[in-house]
Amino acid sequence: MGRIKGVVKHVWGANWCIIGGPLKGPFSVKITTLSAGKTLLATDVVPRNWAPKATYSSRRNFSPVL
C-alpha cells in the first residue's frame, strides 16, 4: 500500500481534505481508535476512477465489545 505524499487535514465530521496531488486511486483507509488503539483497514475502498465530492462506503467496522 502506498502512502499519500502531502498533508491530510480534518475538515469536519468524517470529511478529510488531502492537500497535494495528483491523486491516483485506488486508496485504502486505515483508522485507529483513540480510546483502545484498535486499527481497522479498508483496502481499496476508494476506486481508481474516484471523483471529488463523491461518497465511498466500506462494509468494514470494528467488532462490538461484548
HSE toward the beta carbon, residue 51, CA cutoff 13 A:
3
Give the Å distances, CA to CA, from 65 to 27, 30, 31: 28, 20, 17
User: What is the reported pLDDT for 48?
Assistant: 92
User: What is the reported pLDDT for 23?
Assistant: 79
Give the Å distances, CA to CA, from 5 to 18, 23, 24, 65: 9, 9, 11, 35
List CB contacts of 39: < 8 A, sequence separation 6 or more: 30, 31, 32, 33
Q: Give the residue extent of every domain in the chain.
A: 25-66
Show pLDDT as tens, one digit a residue, over the chain (66 residues).
556 666 778 888 878 787 777 778 898 888 888 888 899 999 999 899 999 889 888 888 888 766
